[in-house]
Amino acid sequence: MTVDKTALSGSIADNLIRLFSAEGRTALITGAASGLGKRMGTSLAAAGANAYFGDINQEGARAAADEAKAVGIQKTQGIFLDVTDPKSVQEAFDHIRQETGGVDILICSAGLSRATWIEEMSLETWNEVLEVNLTGTFLCCKEGSRSMVARRWGRIINVASIAATHAPRPERFNGGYNYSASKAGVIGMTKRLAVELAPYNITVNCLSPGIMETPLTKKALAEEHTLKQVVDSVPMRRVGKPGDLDGLVVFLSSESSGFLTGQDIIVDGGYSVW
């Protein structure tokens, strides 16, 4: 029997392209006006998804979507979304449902940090961070899973943090008890959701970035001493960039990750190894 290696090679390549494509899917990314959320929304749109950039900063979300269009990535739209408000969450998902039939891919990236020493942290500051990072993720997962369950397919990616499991070495990042607690809660919720949604062909995973160049860290990383502490704590000897998540986000959003669920995937340049 003669095997047509050229045809075989072509079929494998075609299948891989299909497996990693988001073509025909609808994605909602929260916290997408800037930082990691903005980059993840752009990556999914580049992979073929209809990407909705959701943010409480609606002007910023629209600008992020328009920026993607300016470089030829057309399937983007910026919408208002306050993840702490159940009505706003429902309205955002209803809007997408009316336009496309529902969300297939949900990335919960909206996040907030308010760090102070424990004796100085007010209950209001504690609650503010948990409300955005944890409760906001819960509300979006609750609403987003509806259309996924109905259609028996879905991908949920919750953005946690290395801070959920590791106390930061650079002293500049101390005091984020509320942030660490909220992100640890996201990981725990993700694992439970993964089990409960698995029968509907829905995967639920976490991304836990290390210290990345984002608006949340810009001020701290501008300090030479802090930047040196960070770099010295990372085996790869650099700070993470939003683009470091591109491939993983596309993978977790695609058919190719169909047997991967309930995982907390750490992307930190080896920071957590030491």
List, by residue number, the catalytic residues. Answer: 179
Asked if 89 and 81 touch (Cβ cutoff 8 Å), the reply is: yes
Give the residues across from 53 on adjacent strands. 29, 78
DSSP letter for 240, please: B
Burial annotation 73-85 (CB, 10 A radius, 16+ → b, else e): bebbbbbbbbbbe
Q: Which residue has the tokens 């907390």?
A: 264
User: Which residue reads 């988001």 in tokens?
Assistant: 22
- Which residues are paired to 265 by β-bridges? 207
Distances (CA, A) of 269 to 159, 161, 167, 225, 243: 17, 13, 16, 19, 13
Query: CA dist 240 to 68, 109, 175, 209, Å?
Result: 21, 16, 21, 8
Secondary structure (3-state) at 27: strand
CA–CA separation, 149 and 200 (whole Å): 6
DSSP 1: -
